Structure 1
């Protein structure tokens, strides 16, 4: 198989997967790899483009994130669509990146209700049963898209309930509005991401079918005094949302023996 090397780039070689992904996107768009057909194997792509297997795998992962291909163990990588699906990728390297999410995704509130925590809700909110909370529900829309990218359900501790008085489309993250109104500060955000199946109501909102895959992202916001003042649940359609997170590792401390040596 003749080699088709990628164009040289001033970027670090670790980003060559982006160039390969773009080349494959162009080939899919042009019909070289038709919908329903298989991409070349991993080994063939290594030979064809003169790149590493790691680069190929990262490029295929990018195509999968764009909704262009599906990966089938024992079969290969099959072309799913000729053009990228409308898909939002939320990248995060810290709490400040939630601002970027709010800038790109509009939240419209549809419900504000006082709820009294029963045993199940109290366990989720880590409070005593019988405690009052403000529950707000709404839809998040990616700018320019008609279908929502998330269904939101947020619980705000009762002392801070007034932060949403008269507000139906907040322009700041809710935790920031609470910080600004009450002088507290979020020092920890605990996040959990889990795979779920969409029920009929969620599927109708997302324009998909019941039983399709979804992502449930839960975030809990705490102050320096370990007070949980907001808990947010966002349900996303699995085929139009993914989350990328960067974890930076600190170098291990130099041992005493090494320092003395």
Structure 2
């Protein structure tokens, strides 16, 4: 999750400007300083500034036009992103429709077991949130969030928030989640989890691991959902592409 400022200076510049936009230093409708002024401020090359501004455009925070400068624009109100199997809207619909009850919420350091569980690197720090989603009072799945420490401030909002977390990260920090990678695997329910989900220990379950990546290529969060096998169905439609065997 940590990005080296020496290797990716333009990302550091983009983050600084992004935070200033979100904090209102540069409100909607205002112009950012010129490329020359930004070069002097950050002591970087024009190429670095242009790459940083490109990141802000990717996050729909600014627009740039020749001879008109870079303008801070209203953030687009859309959560629809194309994926190979499903849309991020589908993730929103599920998370919004199922009430989330938090069991634990704490900063943790990823150890060997958690690294294998989440795909995160050993030694990284993140906000770990664990709880259960329910529909009509019945537990649907166990949900675990591992949130990049850069965005851990969203933790203070979770007690009053029942929907998905990644839109909060986007709104609070001005980033865009541009990719969600999902892996589904078959697992056996552990005894502790079985009691909470009202199923037999060692019964079958589906484990869904989702990795949310920003336009900066940074992992914003990892989500692990464990569904009893009789409470989840995943479907997709495949069509032959013309001209392909």
Same fold (TM over 0.5): yes
Aligned residue for 1:81?
A: none
CA distance in 1, matches of 2:160, 2:133: 10
Which of 155, 171, 182 is the equivalent residue of 2:162?
171
* Structure 1: tracts of 5 or more residues without a match: 1-91, 254-261
Asked if the contact 1:93/1:246 (under 8 Å) is kept, the reply is: no
Q: C-alpha separation between the residues in 1 aligned to 2:105 and 2:240?
A: 41
- In the TM superposition, 1:26-175 aligns within 5 A as 93-122=86-115, 128-142=121-135, 144=136, 146-175=137-166
How many angstroms apart in 2 are the aligned matches of 1:93 and 1:248? 14
Deviation at 1:173, TM superposition (A): 1.3
Whole-angstrom distance in 2 between the partners of 1:174 and 1:106: 13
Cα separation, partners in 2 of 1:150 and 1:250, compared to 1, 3 Å = same
Per the alignment, residue 226 of structure 1 pairs with 217
Counterparts of 1:204 and 1:126, CA distance in 2: 26
Q: CA deviation at 1:245?
A: 3.0
For the residues of structure 2 that align with 1:153 and 1:122, how far apart are their CA atoms?
14
CA distance in 1, matches of 2:208, 2:120: 20
Q: SS in structure 1 opposite 2:139?
A: coil
Distance 1:118 1:213 in 2: 26
4+ aligned runs moved over 6 Å, structure 1: none
Q: 1:119 to 1:176 in 2, by over 3 A?
A: same
Residue aligned with 2:233, SS? strand
C-alpha distance after superposition, 1:202-234 (max 9, x if no partner): 211121211211111110000122211100001
Q: For residue 184 of structure 1, what is the aligned residue in structure 2?
A: 175
Q: Quick one: distance in 1 between partners of 2:139 and 2:166?
A: 21
Partner deviation per Cα, 1:108-151 (whole Å, 9 max, x = no partner): 21211111122443466555532211000011001x1x331011
Q: CA deviation at 1:240?
A: 1.9
Structure having the higher Rg:
1
The residue that corresponds to 1:40 in the other structure is: none
TM-score of the aligned structures, taking structure 1 as reference length: 0.56
Q: In the aligned structure 2, how far is the partner of 1:170 from the partner of 1:251? A: 45
Q: Is the 8 A contact 2:99 2:133 kept in 1?
A: yes
Q: Which runs of 5+ in 2 are unaligned?
A: 1-84
